[in-house]
């Protein structure tokens, strides 16, 4: 398979590449990356849909893990979370993997993703999950 040529633009045809992990190679960012807040609430994400930018445009997920550490003698488990994005389900091609953090805030710089609906989840707690929707762009 060949990647998109270096002269590809932000409104290149999203179906031009078969591999979502390489679909954005050679596509230049337009403007500054948007920032998208994402947090945790009782071992769940505070949303199940992340509305991302357009095709192949990078963005920043400002992730706040507000789950407190488990108290001694409390329920088993960990308050550590992260954000992983795959093309589809937990078995799809890996598009982004963020650092695992405890109760804190981190800025994940996500590279451009091809247009469509992708899957995000916590690597530690896979039941924490949702969709990342990337617009077609152009215009």
98-122 tens-digit pLDDT: 999 999 999 999 999 999 999 999 9
- Domain 14-135, CATH 2.40.50.140 — does that match? no
Please give the Cα distance from 129 to 120 (Å, whole number).
6
Between β-strands 84-86 and 116-121, what pairing exists: parallel, antiparallel or unpaired?
antiparallel
Give dist(CA 4, CA 115) in Å, integer.
Answer: 15
Spatial neighbors of 51 by CB under 8 A, at least 6 apart, are 36, 133
Distance in angstroms (rounded) separating the CA atoms of residues 115 and 23? 9
Residue ranges covered by each domain of the chain:
14-135
Q: Is 16 helix (H, G, I), strand (E, B) or coil?
A: helix
Supply the mean pLDDT for the chain: 84
Give pLDDT, residue 122: 96
């Amino acid at each position: 398979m060949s990647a998109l040529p270096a002269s590809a633009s932000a409104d290149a045809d999203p179906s031009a590449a078969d591999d979502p992990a390489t679909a954005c190679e050679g596509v230049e960012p337009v403007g500054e990356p948007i920032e998208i807040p994402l947090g945790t609430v009782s071992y769940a994400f505070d949303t199940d849909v992340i509305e991302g930018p357009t095709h192949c445009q990078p963005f920043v997920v400002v992730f706040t893990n507000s789950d407190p550490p488990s108290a001694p003698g409390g329920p088993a488990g960990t308050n550590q979370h992260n954000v992983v994005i795959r093309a589809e389900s937990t078995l799809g091609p890996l598009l982004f993997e963020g650092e695992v953090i405890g109760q804190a805030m981190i800025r994940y710089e996500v590279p451009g993703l091809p247009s469509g609906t992708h899957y995000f989840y916590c690597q530690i707690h896979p039941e924490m999950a949702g969709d990342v929707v990337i617009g077609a762009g152009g215009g």
